[in-house]
Copies of this chain bind each other. A is one copy, B any other.
Amino acid sequence: MPGNFATIAVLGRAGDPQIAATLTRLLGQLRAAHATALVDAALAPLLGHPSDAQLADHLRLAAAAELAIVIGGDGTLLKAAHVFNSRPVPLVGINLGRLGFLTDISPDSMDTDIAAILRGEYRADRRVLLEAEIAHAAQTTACVPALNDVVIQKTDGGRLIEFETYVDGQFVCAHRADGLIVATPTGSTAYALSGGGSILHPALDAMILVPICPHALGDRPIVLGGGSRVEIAISQTHGGRAQATSDGQHMQILNAGDRIRVWRADRAVTFIHPHGHDYFRILRTKLHWGPGLTRSDNE
């Protein structure tokens, strides 16, 4: 990836006044670096008046940007990544003072880190996406790609759902559970982790299936190769409804008989980090690893 980014999309957590100061500083920095900044029109209310910032809608951002800088948390970066589904635009995340798994540049180090990135000094971090489609009767619906996970889940609190899983056409298991998470390595530290899944290193070409609150205690998470095709067949929803979501966004209501197919997308998303980025350091910080003691029997 070449170092020079002439046109830069700037996105952020819309409606959050906390990002205003960082946004203004960032735009100043980009102007000083002679880069063209296109600001997500949703951020207009956060810009000072008058502002000479160039606003753009998502279509325009996706068409023109060579780099996207996103101010907010991991969730904001996740949403921003979906803006660029049509073109492989690398993304940089600036957090709001709390380290994220993906947003590892703090407002404090932003000046230095963004300057380095604009000079072409950075580390590219390629993350796979999952594609999914839902077959309902004779009709098949394609879904937006997921960076974290495709999830099927009961939506009415009362009862579990029943479904079968298949990998590359081979029957795996009949599950009775609240749902199933199909997660990328990126998503393995998100919902899948809460469901009891193991962490997948981002460089691993794999996906993990995590049943949610399964009925059978032996129904445990399975890690599959990235080239696997997963199919989930809804058997029974017990009078309730099931739902499919992609990165936490609603895709479709599911009925008995529907089939959801999930596979690794051909394209991927690239995040850009400053040199010195350390995946394990982020894990240590986010998961409270290290000297922080929790059990009550130590000295």
Q: Which residues of A contact B (CB under 8 A)?
A: 13, 72-76, 78, 98, 100-102, 148, 151-159, 167, 170-174, 176-179, 186-191, 193-201, 203-206, 208, 210, 212-225, 228, 243-245, 247-250, 278, 280, 283-284, 286-299
Contact = CB atoms under 8 A, between A and B. Distances in A.
Contact of A186 (B171, B204, B220, B296): B296
B74 A216 contact: no
B212 A283 contact: no
A177 to B, nearest CB: 8
A204 B218 contact: no
Contacts of A153: 157
A198 B208 CA distance: 9
B216 A292 contact: yes
Contact of A172 (B167, B172, B280): B280
Nearest to A214: B194
A266 to B, nearest CB: 20
A196 to B, nearest CB: 8
Contacts of A179: 157
Contact of A204 (B158, B213, B224): B224
A292 B186 CA distance: 20
